[in-house]
């Protein structure tokens, strides 16, 4: 069995994953529809009262193309699929945020590579019911997030673990000496029709991805959200952590609108069955 696939699958088990649960089939007012009444996801992107693009809605990261993850991580990845959780379908960046780099070109510094090498499934913060962090929270293909947009503040509500973020768009700067947080502190600005979010002030406890790539408290994240039409939003995430990586690196995913749906609560440890079966290997 492919070692990389096995490690990733075990880490998914340690992630206490459950299938997302949405409030389904409640027609949302203002949703453009086709003649058969279905949401028209290719319609024009909406705008808020202040003229800015309106990013509001429930979003889920697009699945990887069929066969891509098996090619990258091994065909045995499919063996670990369960209803609602199929790692062969999730974003490749959730499985390995450095997947676009050849091993010899990896930007990890030696100290980061050593931390990564030693990590095991039982050490995953998510396995201990600790919060997710960025960019991992943005690129779940199995748990949606909801954006609520107001003129000076944009809230992100993540279904997984009931997490939330506040992105301030009222002109304030990032705090100078913040108390470290799992999701950091976020400020946003508009560049044309793209929302640019800068986040800093992280603790160093979370993992960047399922595989366990580390980060330090020097981590800075830039997210660029561009809603290109009603049902599709481009997300570009740049990771900058000079303590752990030799250079910033960027990933790009597509977020898909979950029309006529909503998020529900998700509680870590509720009906959890994985942790007692995990090995430290």
Output the six-digit token pair for 90.
Answer: 């999730």
Name the percent of the chain lying above pLDDT 90.
67
How far apart (Å, rounded) are the C-alpha atoms in residues 130 and 163? 11
Contact of 12 with 96, CB cutoff 8 Å = no
Contact of 50 with 151, CB cutoff 8 Å = yes
How far apart (Å, rounded) are the C-alpha atoms in residues 238 and 67? 26
Residues 136-177: tens digit of each pLDDT: 999 988 889 999 999 999 999 999 888 999 999 999 999 999
How far apart (Å, rounded) are the C-alpha atoms in residues 226 and 95? 24
Residues 218-232: tens digit of each pLDDT: 999 999 999 999 999
How far apart (Å, rounded) are the C-alpha atoms in residues 197 and 167? 7
How far apart (Å, rounded) are the C-alpha atoms in residues 111 and 118? 11
Distances (CA, A) of 151 to 23, 24, 229, 231: 27, 28, 20, 22
115 phi, psi to nearest 5 deg: -60, -45
Residues 53-79: tens digit of each pLDDT: 999 999 999 999 999 999 998 877 777
Residues 108-138: tens digit of each pLDDT: 999 999 999 999 888 888 888 898 899 999 9
Q: Could you tell me the pTM of the whole model?
A: 0.89
Left, alpha or beta for 122 (phi > 0: left; psi -120 to 50: alpha)? alpha
């Amino acid at each position: 069995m492919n070692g990389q696939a096995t490690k990733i699958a075990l880490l998914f088990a340690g992630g206490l994953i459950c299938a997302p649960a949405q409030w389904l089939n409640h027609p949302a007012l203002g949703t453009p529809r086709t003649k058969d009444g279905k949401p028209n996801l290719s319609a024009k992107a909406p705008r808020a009262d202040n003229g800015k693009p309106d990013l509001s809605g429930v979003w889920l990261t697009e699945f990887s193309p069929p066969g891509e993850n098996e090619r990258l991580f091994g065909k045995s990845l499919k063996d670990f699929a369960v209803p609602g959780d199929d790692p062969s379908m999730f974003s490749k960046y959730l499985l390995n945020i450095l997947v676009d780099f050849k091993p010899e070109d990896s930007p990890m510094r030696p100290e980061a590579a050593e931390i990564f090498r030693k990590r095991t499934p039982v050490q995953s913060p998510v396995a201990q019911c600790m919060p997710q962090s960025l960019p991992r929270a943005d690129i779940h293909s199995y748990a949606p997030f909801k954006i609520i947009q107001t003129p000076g503040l944009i809230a992100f509500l993540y279904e997984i673990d009931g997490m939330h973020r506040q992105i301030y768009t009222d002109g304030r700067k990032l705090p100078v000496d913040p108390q470290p947080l799992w999701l950091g502190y976020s400020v946003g600005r508009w560049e044309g029709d793209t929302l640019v979010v800068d986040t800093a002030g992280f603790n160093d406890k979370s993992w960047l991805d399922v595989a366990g790539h580390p980060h330090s408290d020097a981590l800075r994240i830039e997210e660029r959200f561009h809603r290109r039409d009603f049902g599709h939003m481009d997300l570009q995430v740049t990771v900058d952590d000079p303590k752990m990586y030799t250079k910033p690196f960027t990933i790009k995913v597509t977020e898909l609108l979950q029309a006529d749906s909503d998020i529900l609560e998700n509680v870590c440890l509720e009906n959890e069955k994985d942790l007692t079966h995990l090995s430290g290997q």
